Amino acid sequence: MVSRENAVVLLFMAAGLALAYGGRVATSLSDDLLIGVLIFVSVAAPQAVIGYLDAEDSD
């Protein structure tokens, strides 16, 4: 069974890859910006969501 943390990370990772690839294909954004989007969506956002969900569970 997949834990909630793993599911959240996998979901955001897939979304980050889709946004980065889609941004590369559909727009003329710089590679630096697309890498920033990938890092934010794949690393920072899942940590924030997991932290929020953990705080909700502890209440």
Domain ranges for the chain, please list them: 4-58
**Segment 53-56 long-range contacts (CB within 8 Å, at least 24 positions apart):** 53/4, 53/8
| pLDDT one-digit tens code per residue, 15-58 | 999 998 999 999 888 889 999 989 999 999 999 999 999 998 88
Tokens read off for 3: 């834990």
Q: What is the pLDDT of residue 2?
A: 83
pTM of the entire predicted model:
0.80
Q: What is the pLDDT of residue 12?
A: 95
Spatial separation of the C-alpha atoms in residues 59 and 47, rounded to whole Å: 19
